[in-house]
Amino acid sequence: MDNKLQAVIFDLDGVLVTTDELHYEAWKKMADREGIPFDKEINNRLRGVSRVASCRIILEKATREYTDEEVEELCTFKNDFYVTLLDGIKPSDALPYARETLKALKDAGIKIAIGSSSKNTKKILTKLGLLEEFDAIADGTDITHSKPDPEVFLCAAKKLGIAPENCAVVEDALAGIEAAKAGGMTAVAISDARRSEIADERIDTLKDLLPIVLG
């Protein structure tokens, strides 16, 4: 038990809900429109990465250069389609043990926040019925640097009023673990992030977080 922990900051996608397939579908639609090869292997490189940075990774396979304005238009095209796909999300799409873990942490007096690069964070949380559960939300509308920069997690900690060293971060992406460590926080890896060599803790499911935070 790390008894100095006073807050837990959760990444959203891949931790509390999985919208990977929706992102893939939206990026694929954009790539197909542009005649650019795109597959699941490339998609995996986009985990935890900002929209613009993700688009530029996809454009590595393009046969021409794209201007900043064109990149912005591609991002808008992708996001507009992605947002329509989000309308299909429902409360039952929350990942296993998400609601129980959030409740247990709140009941124990632990502050909880979201730290996500997504600008659709509040829409997703609303669809899941979780928007009101968090003490603070830091998302893509609050930041200028995406993970592995720690900005979004530091922003969440500031909104909570908790020092970074008293916060744990739950992440499923390697870039997110790097961001948590760069911010001086306890990095808890789940899913793909368990491969990280710098994570402080590794968990199989969200319920495994409770012994780490509560003892």
On whether residue 145 sits in a domain, the answer given is yes
We report the CATH number of the domain holding residue 66 as 1.10.150.240
Q: Where does a domain end: 35, 65, 86? A: 86
Q: Are 106 and 79 within one domain?
A: no
158 CB-side CA count, 13 A: 11
Residue 44, pLDDT score? 86
**Average of per-residue pLDDT across 65-94:** 96
Q: Are 121 and 199 within one domain?
A: yes
Q: Are 45 and 79 within one domain?
A: yes
**Is residue 192 scored above 60 in pLDDT?**
yes
Q: Which single residue is written with the structure tokens 């509040």? A: 122
**Average of per-residue pLDDT across 127-132:** 96
On whether residue 162 sits in a domain, the answer given is yes
**Is 104:212 a contact under the CB 8 Å cutoff?**
no
Q: Are 152 and 177 within one domain?
A: yes
On whether residue 148 sits in a domain, the answer given is yes
Q: pLDDT averaged over the chain?
A: 95
Q: Are 106 and 177 within one domain?
A: yes
**Average of per-residue pLDDT across 114-127:** 94
Nearest to 183, CA basis, from 167, 200, 164, 166: 164
Q: Where does a domain end: 29, 54, 86? A: 86
Residues of the domain holding 134: 7-17+91-214
**Is residue 2 scored above 90 in pLDDT?**
no
Q: Domain count of the chain? A: 2
Cα(67)–Cα(77) distance, integer angstroms: 15
**Is residue 1 scored above 50 in pLDDT?**
no
SS (H, E, C) the chain: CCCCCCEEEECCECCCECCHHHHHHHHHHHHHHHCCCCCHHHHHCCCCCCHHHHHHHHHHHCCCCCCHHHHHHHHHHHHHHHHHHHCCCCHHHECCCHHHHHHHHHHCCCEEEEECCCCCHHHHHHHHCCHHHCCEEECCCCCCCCCCCCHHHHHHHHHHCCCHHHEEEEECCHHHHHHHHHCCCEEEEEHHHHHCCCCCEEECCHHHHHHHHHC
Confidence of residue 207 (pLDDT cuts 50, 70, 90): very high
**Is 86:122 a contact under the CB 8 Å cutoff?**
no
Confidence of residue 3 (pLDDT cuts 50, 70, 90): low
On whether residue 143 sits in a domain, the answer given is yes
On whether residue 1 sits in a domain, the answer given is no
Q: Are 62 and 124 within one domain?
A: no
Which residue(s) pair with 13 in the sheet? 17
On whether residue 176 sits in a domain, the answer given is yes
Q: Are 50 and 95 within one domain?
A: no
Q: Where does a domain end: 45, 64, 86? A: 86
Query: Percentage of the chain surpassing pLDDT 70?
Result: 98
Residue 202, pLDDT score? 98
Confidence of residue 47 (pLDDT cuts 50, 70, 90): confident
On whether residue 111 sits in a domain, the answer given is yes
We report the CATH number of the domain holding residue 131 as 3.40.50.1000
Q: Are 125 and 196 within one domain?
A: yes
Cα(38)–Cα(25) distance, integer angstroms: 10
Q: Are 77 and 133 within one domain?
A: no
Q: Are 36 and 140 within one domain?
A: no
Residue 146, pLDDT score? 86
**Is 51:140 a contact under the CB 8 Å cutoff?**
yes
On whether residue 135 sits in a domain, the answer given is yes
Q: Are 160 and 63 within one domain?
A: no
Confidence of residue 20 (pLDDT cuts 50, 70, 90): confident
Catalytic residues: 11, 13
**Average of per-residue pLDDT across 125-129:** 97
Q: Are 58 and 154 within one domain?
A: no
